[in-house]
């Protein structure tokens, strides 16, 4: 799953001259303006006409929800149960006028271990499904967790300003709109074939249109042509192309080695079941999630609980500091997921060796786009490092190549700590100052650290816990520092604060703290003293294709008559060091 955002400059090409809007009772107020459901001008392909008619029919229903089709018996039961639940449908009409708003069920999938929370714990012994609905008017994702054996909705989650994975029917519609767009035809000089367009499930936003800040559901089918990539931004709420944009992707070799992935094996062994590890005093479980990468759970060291869980929620990738466009990726299982970059091999447990001595072990997971390392294809490496002294480091790396040579990568890692009475403190140069409420902070060039390099301290009432050592390039992995945002949120027992598998929670191209985790803080930060805590860590890495200085980059070269890949990774991640082992106050 990817989200794309674009900030426009004067030279940008738009398809915004719209007239003759279709009059239907389906608009709401959005930022002081009326958000019209249908386009004022569209090519009106047959698929677009069918979509409009289907939307009109749906708005007459009670409730106004377009149901998913071609479901099996259990999926159907889950969908029906969800639609009957008042919590699930409470936003399907405008609060004031009671006009129908357009809602669509995007997916009904079996619950996996990565979705289990306190509210869905019974699903381990029952048959449960996750029903994902998108409210087009409010740009709202609503998830229902349904026990079909008991015919009961166990929980309902609402995530504002997010969209679920785009179903295949809407991907096909986006491709149809893109290849028939006058803007695309005029830019290319010919009508492209749908099979040549990449990333039709890539969700999008575009400044000065309804796509901005994801107010509309938009996707970005992309065509690589020579050393450029043409991005076509399709608004699936307004059913129209709202912009096209070229990016530079560099030299491209046409021959790509066929990727061989045992998807069924990976899914059955690592996406549907947990794997346990007990090594060097550490004990934990891990599994691949649909779209939150490799997730670890129930991690303890020498019998003491350390982590409830940790996972990789998003990869935000923005291009061009001035124009600000890019993708928001998800990584995960090869099946039952619209993750843009999927697991390419089984997780590996490897030894960590320093100066010839084994100092710990790591669990590594690699994700690869099918066309990697060609432009607009990505590869990521996720690693959980566990050390013999009780330290640990959730690390992530981009292996390039991406869709441009001016990219900034911002991976979003969520870490839920064990214990019910934790407190976070920040070093101010003279001592540790406790955070009273949920908040965020940024690692800057002038950030003050302790002499050991610590910026934060998370401790329980006994004083035990961990120091947080952000990456400044000191870990021997050729990184250039994280310049990271750190967020602290309360892990409320009565709410799902991001523990279940998440949709992409943040935009690709915000340069401020609004990377997604702030959704669990604003608008009313909670007190976090002596509380169960979650830390979110968002590093920022700038790619570079300068010869001899490559970073977050990959390219093919010929050796002995065959193609090989040169990878210049950018690594990130903070180290968590036990307080007791360092003897610090």
The DSSP string of 78-123 is HHHHHHH-HHHHTTSB-TTT--B--EEEEEEEE--GGG--STTGGG
What's the pTM value of the predicted model, to 2 decimals?
A: 0.69
Local confidence band at 394 (pLDDT 50, 70, 90 cut-offs): very high
279: closest CA among 393, 381, 363? 363
In angstroms, the Cα distances linking 239 to 122, 214, 455 are 41, 15, 48
Of 77-91, 106-120, 219-233, 455-469, least confident by mean pLDDT is 219-233
* Chain segment 188-247, per-residue pLDDT in tens: 878 888 777 766 555 555 555 556 555 788 877 877 777 677 777 788 888 888 777 776
CB 220 within 8 A of CB 177: no
Reply yes or no on whether the pLDDT at 5 is more than 90: no
Report the alpha-carbon distance of residue 420 to residue 494 in Å, rounded: 14
Report the alpha-carbon distance of residue 273 to residue 262 in Å, rounded: 16
At 481 the pLDDT is 95
Q: Average pLDDT for residues 136-142, to the nearest whole number?
A: 88
502: closest CA among 368, 311, 343, 263? 311
Q: Average pLDDT for residues 397-421, to the nearest whole number?
A: 92
Reply yes or no on whether the pLDDT at 40 is more than 50: no
- The CA-CA-CA angle for residues 372, 398, 518, to 5°, reads 125
At 26 the pLDDT is 30
Reply yes or no on whether the pLDDT at 583 is more than 50: no
* Chain segment 521-539, per-residue pLDDT in tens: 999 999 999 999 999 999 9
At 124 the pLDDT is 84
At 225 the pLDDT is 74
At 204 the pLDDT is 56
> What does the mean pLDDT of the chain come to?
83
At 25 the pLDDT is 26
At 9 the pLDDT is 30
Q: SS3 for 169? A: helix
Per DSSP, 428 falls in state -
Q: Average pLDDT for residues 275-279, to the nearest whole number?
A: 96
At 263 the pLDDT is 65
Reply yes or no on whether the pLDDT at 21 is more than 60: no
At 357 the pLDDT is 93
Beta bridge partners of 467: 457, 577
Reply yes or no on whether the pLDDT at 37 is more than 70: no
Q: Average pLDDT for residues 248-264, to the nearest whole number?
A: 48
At 209 the pLDDT is 55
Q: SS3 for 530? A: coil
Q: Average pLDDT for residues 291-317, to the nearest whole number?
A: 95
Beta bridge partners of 570: 398
At 24 the pLDDT is 28
Most trustworthy range by pLDDT among 87-101, 194-208, 439-453: 439-453
Reply yes or no on whether the pLDDT at 285 is more than 70: yes
145: closest CA among 158, 128, 121, 125? 128
Structure tokens at 496: 């799902």
Reply yes or no on whether the pLDDT at 30 is more than 60: no
Q: SS3 for 170? A: helix
Local confidence band at 118 (pLDDT 50, 70, 90 cut-offs): confident
Most trustworthy range by pLDDT among 233-247, 284-298, 372-386, 502-516: 284-298
Q: Average pLDDT for residues 10-31, to the nearest whole number?
A: 28
């Amino acid at each position: 799953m990817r989200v794309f955002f674009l900030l426009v400059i004067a030279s940008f090409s738009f398809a915004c001259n719209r007239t003759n809007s279709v009059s239907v009772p389906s608009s709401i107020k959005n930022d002081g303006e009326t958000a019209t459901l249908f386009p004022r001008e569209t090519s009106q392909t047959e698929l677009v006409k069918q979509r409009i008619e289907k939307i009109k029919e749906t708005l007459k229903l009670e409730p106004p929800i377009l149901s998913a089709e071609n479901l099996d018996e259990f999926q159907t039961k889950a969908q029906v149960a969800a639609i009957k639940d008042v919590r699930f449908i409470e936003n399907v009409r405008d609060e004031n006028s009671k006009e129908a708003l357009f809602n669509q069920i995007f997916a009904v999938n079996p619950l996996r271990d990565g979705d289990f929370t306190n509210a869905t714990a019974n699903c381990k012994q029952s048959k449960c499904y996750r029903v994902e609905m998108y409210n087009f008017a409010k740009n709202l994702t609503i998830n229902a967790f349904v026990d079909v054996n008991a015919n009961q909705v166990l929980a309902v989650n609402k995530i504002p300003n997010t969209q679920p994975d785009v179903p295949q029917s809407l991907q096909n519609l986006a491709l149809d709109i893109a290849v028939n767009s006058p803007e695309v035809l005029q830019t290319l000089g010919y009508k492209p074939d749908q099979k040549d367009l990449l990333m039709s499930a890539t969700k999008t936003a575009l400044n000065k249109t309804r796509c901005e800040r994801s107010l509309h559901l938009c996707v970005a089918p992309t065509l690589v042509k020579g050393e450029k990539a043409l991005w076509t931004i399709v608004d699936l709420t307004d059913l129209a192309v709202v912009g096209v944009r070229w990016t530079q992707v560099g030299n491209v070799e046409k021959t790509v080695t066929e990727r061989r992935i045992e998807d069924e094996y990976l899914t059955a062994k690592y996406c549907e079941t947990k794997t346990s590890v007990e090594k060097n005093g550490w004990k934990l479980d891990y599994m691949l999630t649909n779209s939150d990468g490799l997730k670890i759970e129930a991690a303890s060291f020498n019998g003491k609980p350390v982590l409830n869980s940790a996972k990789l929620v998003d990869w935000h990738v923005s291009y061009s500091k001035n124009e600000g466009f890019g993708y928001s990726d998800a990584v995960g299982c090869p099946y039952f997921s619209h993750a843009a970059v999927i697991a390419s091999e089984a997780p590996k447990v490897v030894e960590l060796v320093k100066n010839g001595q084994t100092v710990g072990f790591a669990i590594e997971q690699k994700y690869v786009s099918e066309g990697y390392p060609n432009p607009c294809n990505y590869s990521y490496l996720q690693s959980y490092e566990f050390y013999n002294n009780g330290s640990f480091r959730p690390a992530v790396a981009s292996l390039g190549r991406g869709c441009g040579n001016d990219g900034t990568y911002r991976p979003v890692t969520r870490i839920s700590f064990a214990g019910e009475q934790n407190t976070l403190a920040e070093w101010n140069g003279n001592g540790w100052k406790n955070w009273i409420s949920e908040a965020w902070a940024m690692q800057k060039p002038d950030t003050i650290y302790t002499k050991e390099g610590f910026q934060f301290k998370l401790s329980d009432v006994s004083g035990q816990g961990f120091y947080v050592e952000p990456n400044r390039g000191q870990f021997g992995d050729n990184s250039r520092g994280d310049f990271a945002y750190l967020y602290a949120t309360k892990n409320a027992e009565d709410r799902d604060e991001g523990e279940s598998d998440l949709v992409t929670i943040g935009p690709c191209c915000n340069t401020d703290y609004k990377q997604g985790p702030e959704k669990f803080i604003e608008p009313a930060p909670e007190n976090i003293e002596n509380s169960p805590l979650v830390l979110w860590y968002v590093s920022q890495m700038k790619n570079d294709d300068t010869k001899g200085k490559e970073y977050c980059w990959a390219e093919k070269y010929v050796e002995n008559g065959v193609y090989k890949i040169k990878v210049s990774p950018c690594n990130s991640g903070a180290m968590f060091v036990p307080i007791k082992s360092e003897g610090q106050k």
